[in-house]
Each structure stands twice: as structure tokens, then as C-alpha cells.
Amino acid sequence: DGFATRIRNGDGGGMISAWIGVPDPLFVSHLAQEAFDAVVLDMQHGVWDVVPAANGIAQGRLAGKPVLVRIPVGEFSLASRLLDAGASGIIAPMINSVADAEAFVKYAKYPPLGERSWGPTLAMNHMKLPASDYLASANEKTVAIAMIETRPALDAADEILRVDGIDGIFIGPSDLSIALSNGAKLAPDTPEMDAVLKHLVARCRAHGKFACVFGSNGERAGELLKMGFDFVIAGADTQQLRSGAASAIAAARKV
């Protein structure tokens, strides 16, 4: 559970995380063997339900990797349930205002920051903490990450970053590119988008919060780390699986 400290202090040296949409805990077991710093389970566009997600968190912990979960839009009560299951952090999509950020914090943090309800049975098992120690440290040891991926979110980024209990932001370059082009294009990897991303990294630095972003492949992830992001994705599980298969087939056909 040094993850939260590592990402808060920026001493992760730039983390690369797996991103898993296939809802099988065994996928976590396999990908966690690679040199990823963390694992994200995607409940928004992936197809995870709560029980497999809880088992996926356990597989990540077995492999010594922190597991974060992206919940579906507005389903903040899932944040509490997944933290109860031992998630190291929650990523909430489409946080477009201070009101959205505060609603998220309410479910992700215990008082005085929020109103998370008590019952972290699995988390205490995983972390080997008695209840009093878990209560005293959970707000620090787990992270609440707000996704910035719309025009209103971009406009409100400073106010969202100022909300107590929001530990960092995660930029969704796909949705943001769709929003900024008014629905005209999906273009997450352009120079125009890079200018927006650099601006948001600077705002995170100014507020002492960390910056995360989705990168569609390894090379893009490297560019995003160079821009100063603390935590990047290097493509999703399905892409990595298929590109591995495609390159094996291509290699076989070449002999």
C-alpha cells in the first residue's frame, strides 16, 4: 500500500499501469506478472461486475500490484464497495464540476473528507490492518481520481483540483478530443491535444495533485511520461492481446 504515497510524492518515477476490460480475475493474474506498476480494472467500458472485480483486486494483491478500478459514470456507491474489497484507488469518469467531484469524494473518503460507510472487511484482510488502523489511514492509503474529459471539466479543472479528497485527475483524451471537436473527431494523439495535456499537468503541479492519462499504446505512453504525467496507460488488455496474436501470426507467415 505504498502506492498512494508513491503517486502522491511523485516518486513513482512515472508509473505504467495495465488496463483490463476483460472481466476475468485471471487476466489480472497474468498481466500483473509483467513489469506494470499497477493494474486498472475498467467497469465503465469493460464488462466487470462487482464480484469478479473483488476477485481481480485479490489477484493483483497476490502479485504485489495495486489495483485501481474505474467505475461507471455517476455510480459513486460502487467506489465504496470496491474500496471495501481492497482497491487502492478509484477512477471516476466524467467529473465535470465541483458538485460531481464532491459527490465522488462523499463515497470514496471517510469523514471529515466524505461520508464513506464502514465495512472494509476484505480490504482489512488484504492490508492486514485492525479496524482502528484502517479507519485512521484509509483516506491517505487509497486515492480518489477524477476524470477530466469534457469541455466543462476542462474549464473547471482548477476548481476540481482544489476539492479536498480529490487526490489527482485522470485525463480521457478520447472523450476530450470528441468534446473539443464538438463530436467531429476522435483524435486523442494530436499536437492540439498535447497542448491541453501539458496545461493540465501544470495545473496538477500547481495544486500538488497527481496527473494520470490514458495512452493508446506503449510509444504514446512514453511520450505522456515525458510530458510529466505521474501515471500512464500503455493500451488496453484487448489491444495488447490482439497485437500479440497478430504479430505471432505475421512472424509465422514470414518464415
Q: In the complex, which residues of this chain contact ligand 3PY (CB under 6 A)? A: 93, 149, 172-175, 188, 214
Site string for Mg ion, 129-168 (x = CB under 5 A): --------------------x-------------------
Rounded Cα distance, 222 and 16, in Å? 9
From 45, 126, 199, 207, the catalytic residue: 45
CB of 197 to ligand 3PY, least distance (A): 11
**Which triple of cell numbers denotes residue 199?**
496545461
Task: List all residues 6 or more positions away from 10 whose beta carbon is below 8 Å from its beta carbon.
Answer: 210, 230
Whether residue 146 contacts residue 94, with contact meaning beta carbons closer than 8 Å, is answered with: no
**Selected range binding Mg ion among 15-23, 59-67, 101-109, 174-182, rule: CB under 5 A:** 174-182
Nearer to ligand 3PY, 45 or 162 (CB): 45
Binding of Mg ion at residue 37 (CB under 5 A)?
A: no
Nearer to Mg ion, 104 or 110 (CB): 104
- Catalytic site includes residue 45: yes
**Which triple of cell numbers denotes residue 150?**
469534457
**Which triple of cell numbers denotes residue 205?**
503541479
CB of 1 to ligand 3PY, least distance (A): 25
Long-range contacts of 181-189 (CB under 8 A, 24+ apart): 188/214, 188/216, 189/216, 189/220
Provide φ and ψ at 19, rounded to 5°: -135, 115
Closest to 171 in 3D by CA, of 86, 70, 66: 70
At residue 66, the 3 state secondary structure works out as coil
CB of 151 to Mg ion, least distance (A): 13
Nearer to ligand 3PY, 21 or 25 (CB): 21
Nearer to Mg ion, 55 or 96 (CB): 96
Q: Which residues are the active-site residues?
A: 45
- Give contact residues for Mg ion (rule: CB under 5 A): 149, 172, 175
